[in-house]
Structure 1
Amino acid sequence: MDSAYLLVIDASPDHAQVLNSFLRNAGIAVRVVNASTFDELESVLKEKSPFLVVIGTQLPSALKIGQVLQAADLNSAPVVLQVNPEDTTQIEEAISTHPTLVINDGENDQLMRIVKTYMAGGKTTREFDDLSHKLEELQHRYDLLLDSARDSIAYIHEGLHIYANRAYLDLLQASSQDEIEGLSLLELMTPENGTDLKKLLRDMNHDIFPEETLAVTINTIAKKKLKADLTFSPAKFGGEQCIQMLVRNQDENLVLQEELDRLRKTDHLTQMINRQTFTDRLSALVEEDKDDDLRSAVLYIETDGIEELQQDLGMENTDSYILDLANVITGCIQETDIPSRFSDHGFAVIIRRTEKSTLQEVGECILENYSNHIIDLGDQTRSASCSMGMATLGPLTRDAKEVIAHARQAFRQASNSGNSMVRFKPAFTTVSSGEADRDWVERIRYALNNRDFYTVQQSIVDLEGENEGFFENRTFMREDDGDTPASEFMLAAERNDLGSTIDRHIIPQLMLAIAGTGDKHIIPLSSNSILDFSFPHWFQRMLSETEVEGSQLVLQISAISAESNLKPTSRVMEELQPLGCNFVLSEFDNDRKTVQLLDHLPVNMVKLRPGLAKGLSTNSTNQEIIRAVVRAVEPHEITIIADEVEDASDLAMLWQCGVKLVTGDFLNEAPQVVGQ
């Protein structure tokens, strides 16, 4: 709220303090300032705009009443003169110079009533001045837009031109407004369909406007005839009711239509596309990106503190900020990128690159260049900074609305610190069991869109020394708070039909790493892939594209999944076995139903249930389970693998139980990473 200033002219500053205390005790919140010289008087009048000037009984020797009254009048500040009833000298001097309000110095109630009255009036005056200034700015902007418009527009009053923009003057081949100012429409235009133009103008003066365009022949100033369509609408110009006339040259209709289409899609200030056009382009890109190798992202950008700047600087100077940021953005992007003015203060940009790391470089370029940029506001220069949010696109992106919402959410986080960029990531919070899957789904979709899955390869060792380059592959999801193993996220992924999508993301990377090595690798399959009828055909195509031999791959299926989906598991194995692929059942133990799977499925290997090999040398129960598994698989000539072996002391017991192949942390080897 603006402060209300009361200016006191008195030789003694104490008088101002006395008035200040009196008014505040009466509940009137004002700021009282004192002036005892002419320079102080002028300074306060110009800088503080006091709502009232009070001249005390002791006029400073450096001032005369006439000077005070004249200066106050120039600054539209009312004056009240405090006098003693017996002292007529000041009254006569004031009245002889300017009409002046006079009050008794001893009547505080009089002063309080006058202060309240002028204080309310001063507030109204300030509000009126502020609104008038804004109206002037709007009128100025409107005049600029109108004069620079490509459409030919004229304002008509009683059949005569009162204004025409540059495009209209060019159409009529007139060099200036003066040439057509007194010219009637009846002299310039002839309707083609026999319409009475004089009657039409008369009707429009009574607010009866034609719904259809009027086809006319225009006789230009240069005596040239051209066909045009006129559109009429009510308007005001210079405070008077008038008719706005839009003229479209029929010969240029096609060009104009294209231009109108461009204008509908373009922001007039920055010449970037607008919000709707950007959203349409992004929607199309979301569909394309599902099968595109390029990495795509959306940046949402705003100048830091732009709303406060607008209140401080006004709309015209705020436009300078917006235009400068638009130019900085344009200078940091490629021609194939798509910038837009997405909101009054914000920009959205679609960027596409071959590498994910280069997406962030665009944002860093904008941040650095804008923070180092000087903005010229005519009578002053300023610097500024911006903040932005980035959201990446991927095969699981739902729609444009989702990407934009993610980018703006990241922007809000970045704007808290200013001059920074934040990349959107789902909020990983502890949630109730009913919401847990939703949390996992968002995390998994984000990781898929950003290619944040990778695989760690670990050697599988033969305890009898017959090593031949055999590896298992474990999938991890890269996250800020530590990478997450598949054992934690895969069940949620499978419940939400994302398991097959993860497989199709991971398997091609593994095949490319395996190609040409001659090594064998265990690759885990999700239950979603088992149930996907298209998976075997896709897998065969990947083998062909990566030139990997099927005999190099051992496909791992969970025994639990195989029990629940016996027929689909059997179908997948039958379709992939001819390619040379082998199969391993994981999470295997001596449970009767698990063992019975060996009678129905062409399995080459089994992996012991996690935890069976841990502390085996002192766990007789687990020893017996493993021996039972060994006895169960012997008739089928199936090899047993023990993974997650942590202690080398358990190796001897595993060998004694009949397990030959082992893997785990006991190897102390540097794992190979694929897709990091």
Structure 2
Amino acid sequence: MQRKKDHTIRVLVIDDRMEDAESIVTGLRNDGLAVRANRPTSLDEYRAMLAGQPVDLVLAAATSKTVEPTQALTLARATGNDLPVILIADGHDDAGLAAMIGLGADNIALRNRDGHLRRAVEREYRDLNARRDLRHLDARLHETERRCDALIDSSRDPIAYIHEGMHIRANQAYLEMFGYADFDEVEGMSILDMVAPADANDFKTLLKQLSKGGETPPPHHLTAHDADGQEFPATMEFSPATYDGEPCLQIIFRRKETAFDPAMMEQMETLRRQDVATGLLNRPTFLQSLEDAVARSASAHEHHGLLLIQPDHFGSLVQSVGINNVDALMAALAERLRPLLDEQVEAARFGEQVIAVLARGSSHAETEVLARDIVSVIGGRILETGDHSLTVTASVGAVQVSERNAQVPRVLARAQQLLETAQGVGGNRMELYDPGAIDRAEQDRINAWIERIRGALTNDQLVLHYQPIISLHGNNAPFFDVLMRMDNGTGELVMPNAFLPIAEEHGLIRDLDRGVIAKAVRTLAANAKREMRFIVRISRASIEDTTLPAFIQQVLQEHAIPANRLVVQINESKVSTQVNEAAEFNRQLAAFGAGFCIDQFGVGLSSAQLIAHLRPRFVKLDGSFMTDYARSPEQQARVRDLGAAATASGASTIACDVNDSGSMTTLFLANVEYVQGNFLAPPSPDLSFDF
């Protein structure tokens, strides 16, 4: 099975007993967290680990004597790094918990309370990343402000910044236009002093509207006067801004002789904001509107609806109308949506095949009604696009924007995820996320996925992709890693992370494992002359299936495939909690010649001991080891140690996620025999790779 790639959390586990530390790490990985752990065996080793390698979290047993909790906290704080420490308690007594809080721990978790440690780790890691992001954004903000200052100073447009009607910044072009030599002459001066008396009242009214948070007005035409009292016609353009952390107003002041005719200017502004093909807003304009709406959700607690709309089976539609008529297709969809738009509901062509809608001030119920209306209005009638009459349906991914999720990337990513989910279960439907009511309709979504998975198993809609595994020792025999996808019924593929968790939770994962194995063996039979070898993933549940080895043997025999052409793979974290079951599973595979592989190898605290006991045919290093591998002596040393341990146990080592040519020589010298990764060859339904 395809595993979902997560960012690896680097932890130090402080516990007197190796078994307890291993249990902590295994529990976290089995709960779905990608964890790479180290365990210090002395205070000096703890100090060296803090100084010598990047660490995200420290997990320290409250009863540890090897490194006592006070020492763990003191040394972690002494690094000067943002390094959260979670104390792990064995029991629940108020005095003990109070004492741990008094030590300054960032969080406390109960060892044997189901999910408690996982939630503590997730919370602290999420907060750590938020603080890191904030520091990174703060640095970028200062750099951006510095560059903006330089651009403003060098701009030929007269630009000023106004706070509460007073000048707080102006560039040289602005000063020259009004006849001032230095900013000191206008600092603190009212902007009204630049406006001729005849237009002063109208301009004052405009400033009051802007100070109350009104919409940014179009260009404003008036008569200005300079330091000598000479009047001249001018145009002012406004935009909200901040200066030294304070909200203010940016004004671009242009003499009329350099400004456009008002009617032409309005027409050009309209064209600048529109998508030519559909007449809807274009992407940059919509993003600005979305940023404004999200900002108001954060500051004024407003609620809005964001909806992404995409025609279902778009590839088939393009084949029907032709690539040259895609714009006409999207224009027809836009016309179908137009009756649903008004002053509070605006739409944009957000991508080649995606339309975005922003419903300002929309409640959850109103956003849901709008999403259903969109699905209905598109799918309810024949769509006319030039010479073609099409039956088109669409899916909608909708997000309720509120204070809780007021970040543009977050709401866009969530809407896109929901759009893909809606299409993955057949399309012609909407999926709505509301941060205040996450579980609404969740069961309907799960039920739809369950039916889709069962349908895929029944109708042979599991699709296999293959990624080459390349030998560093000159073995040119074809060797592929098998990755599963699902056909949603129209030829479009759904990635496994969309449905595997549901399959595991509802008892369908073993059937998927068997379906993939059977299809992989049929593929081997269809390509028997090439003598290929496949690695196929299975789940933790299948390790417990005592009948699976016999099933694998039967399928291989039915298709006359030598058993050594098939290798069965499972994650190290799954095996480490089922060592006896895994050993028996491997023994049964070996009895008829099939292979066994441990994936994500090297992230546990006792990886070498594990493979010495299990004796797998292959180990596949965790992909996190390849992050910056060519420039990281620490990563290289760790890979060398793991490669040596694999060789000692009789296993061949595979490095996955290899992403640069510079790693290849180093991997060869580190006892690594095979490599794979998108840099070498991405997964593909094609088996024609030339080894």
TM-score (norm: length of structure 2): 0.35
Relative contact order: is structure 1 or structure 2 higher (C-alpha 8 Å, sep ≥ 6)? 2
